[in-house]
Amino acid sequence: MTDENGRFELKGIPDGNCRLVIKYDAFCPANAKARIDRHASTKKTLIAHMRPGGIDTCSYLELK
């Protein structure tokens, strides 16, 4: 779940590879492989590009 600004934080997930899936009604799901590293020296921002469902291209994630 996100806050009122669309922000979220991943907590309690063990280090390693995973797949992150973001869903919102009427939009294509966005999903990507991710690597969790709680010991990383910097935080990353994950931007979800959500597109309306029913079109030829779907949503995607971008790590910055």
Distance (Å, rounded) from C-alpha 22 to C-alpha 1? 9
Higher pLDDT, 63 or 17: 17
Give 3-state DSSP helix, strand, coil % of the chain, rounded to 5: 0, 40, 60
Predicted confidence at residue 55, as pLDDT, reads 67
Determine whether 30 is exposed, middle or buried from the number of CB atoms within 10 Å of its CB (0-12, 13-18, 19+). Answer: buried
Average pLDDT over residues 16-42: 85
Q: What is the pTM of this model?
A: 0.60
Mean pLDDT of the chain: 81
